[in-house]
Amino acid sequence: MNRRSFLQRAAHTGLGVLGLPYIVTSSALGKGGAVAAGERITVGCIGVGSHGTGMNLRSYLAQGDAQVVAVCDVDARHLERARKMVNDKYGNADCAAYRDWREVIARSDIDAVMISTPDHWHVPMSVAAIKAGKDVQCEKPTLTIHQGRVLSDTVKRYGAVFQTSTEDRAIGIYHRMAELVRNGRIGKLQTIRVELPAGYSVHDHYYGLTGPQVPDWFDYDMWLGPAPEAPYHPGRCHWNFRWVLDYSGGMLTDWGTHLLDTAQWGNDTERSGPVEIVGHGDFGADDLYNTAKTYHVEYTYATGVRLIVDSGTPSIRFEGTKGWVGNRGWRGPLQADPPSLLEEQIGPDEIHLFTCPGGEHRNFLDCVKSREDPYFPAEIGHRCSTLCHLGNIAMLTGRKLRWNPDAEEFINDDEANRMRSRAMRSPWHLL
C-alpha cells in the first residue's frame, strides 16, 4: 500500500485514534480547511533550475490541492535547493530527489509532472510521461514541427491532460485584446505586428569562455540527452541553451511562443497556421551561439491577414479596418485607436475566450480533475511553436516558403520539409 492509499484508508476508517496522530496529521486528513492528502494531486518536478523553481515549483507549493513529492535535475546544486524548498514547505523530509527523470515517471503514486528543462527535452519527456499514465505541464516550446505533432497526437491517443506552460492567456491585457479583435471591434483584421527582443541574453558571463572539465555535480551526458554530441562548455548549458540551435531556436522560439500565441488567438488561427512565410535574420558567426540575433519574418494567412515579426521591444498590435488595439512593452497598458475601444464591453452572446485568472498551474490542476483541456493545450501549443519554427526555417533557407497548415508540410520544397524534424542521439527516441 502506498502512502496515498494509506492516508485515504486512515481517513475513512478512523485509524488516527489508534495511535497514529504522529503519522497522520489533521491537515493530511483534510481538517481545518486543508485538502485531504488522498485528494491532492501528486506532482513530480523535472528540471528545477531558475524558472523551474522560481516560477513552477513555487507555484505548485502554493496550491493547496497539489503536493510535490519528487524533484529531479541533472545539476545536484539545483536538486538540493529544490528538495529543501519542498521539505521546508511541508515541514518534513519526504521529498524524493532524482538525477534521472525516468525514475520520476516510473512512480505509480505520481499523478502529474511539471517539465522545466531545455527545449530539446520537452517532447521526449512529455511523451514518455504520458505513456506512463501521467498528466503533463511542460514549458514551451517544442524543438521541431515533427516533435510537436507527435506530442499532440500522443496526448489525444492517451486521453492525457497537457498544459503548454506560459502565463499569457491568464494575463488580462492579452486576453482583453484578443477578445476585442475576435469580436470585430477593430473591424476586419488586416495586419498583426509583433516585436520580440533581439540578441542573446547570456547569463553568468559565459560568452567566449573555454569550457573546463565537466563538474562532478553535473550530469552533462543526460543534459545533452537526444541532442548531438558536443564538448562540454559552461555557456552551452542552463539558461544559455536558448541561443544554440541544437537545443532551441533563439528569441523567436523563446519570446515568440508568448506573443505569437496571442497573435494566433486574436486571429482565430490557434489550430491552424499561415500559408506563406518569408524572412531574413542575422545568425552571427559565433563559435557557440548561432540563433538569429536580429530578424524580420512575414507570415501570410489564407484570409489575407499578414503577421509581421521584427526584433525590437516586446509588443503586439492588431490593425483592422476600423482601428487598432495593442500594447508596447511586456504587459504594457492596452492602447487603441480610436480610444473608445478601451471602453468596449463584450456582450453575453459574444465570443468569450477561455482563460484562468489563477494562472497556468491553477488551470492545469483544475483540468486534471475535470479532464477538460487547459487553456493552452498540446495542439494549440504545437501550432504556436510551429509558427516560430516556420520563421527560423524561412530565414535559414533564405527564400519564400509555401506552407500547407492542414498537412503540415511545405509545398514543393524538399529541403524545407527535411527541416521539420531532427535526428535524435542514440539511444533516445520518441516512439
- pLDDT tens series, the chain, 431 aa: 343 443 334 333 333 322 333 333 434 444 445 677 678 999 999 999 999 999 999 999 999 999 999 999 999 999 999 999 999 999 999 999 999 999 999 999 999 999 999 999 999 999 999 999 999 999 999 999 999 999 999 999 999 999 999 999 999 999 999 999 999 999 999 999 999 999 999 887 766 655 678 999 999 999 999 999 999 998 999 999 999 999 999 999 999 999 999 999 999 999 999 999 999 999 977 778 999 999 999 999 999 999 999 999 999 999 999 999 999 999 999 999 999 999 999 999 999 999 999 999 999 999 999 999 999 999 999 999 999 999 999 999 999 999 999 999 999 999 999 999 999 999 999 87
Specify whether the CB–CB gap between 102 and 127 falls below 8 A.
no
Q: Where are the beta strands (DSSP E) in 47-205?
A: 66-72, 96-98, 112-115, 135-139, 162-165, 189-196
pLDDT at 286: 75
Sign of the dihedral defined by the CA atoms of residues 155, 430, 248, 61, in that order: positive
Task: Kindly give the residue spans of alpha helices, DSSP state H, lying in 323-377.
Answer: 360-370
Superfamily for the 3-166 domain = NAD(P)-binding Rossmann-like Domain (3.40.50.720)
What three-state secondary structure class fits 67? strand
Rounded to 5°, the CA angle 350-305-179 comes to 25
pLDDT of residue 13: 36
Backbone angles phi, psi at 37, to 5 degrees: -55, -40
69 contacts 110 by C-beta, under 8 angstroms: yes
- Alpha-carbon distance of 124 to 409, in angstroms, equals 22
| The predicted structure's pLDDT at residue 29 | 46
Backbone φ/ψ region at 5: left (φ over 0), alpha (ψ -120 to 50), beta: alpha
Q: Would you kindly state where each structural domain of the chain is located, as residue ranges?
A: 3-166, 169-346+378-418
Q: What is the reported pTM?
A: 0.91
Closest CA to 267 of 242, 237, 289, 300: 300
Q: With b meaning 16 or more CB within 10 Å and e meaning fewer, what string describes 175-188?
A: bbbbbbbbeebbee
What size, in residues, is the chain? 431
CA dist 143 and 148 (Å) reads 8
What is the model's pLDDT at position 11? 36
Give the type of residue at 333: P
Topology of domain 169-346+378-418, CATH? Dihydrodipicolinate Reductase; domain 2 (3.30.360)
Same fold, 3-166 and 169-346+378-418: no
C-alpha span between 249 and 246 (Å, rounded): 8
- Paired residues of 316 in beta bridges: 194, 327
Query: φ and ψ at 186, to 5 degrees?
Result: -105, 15
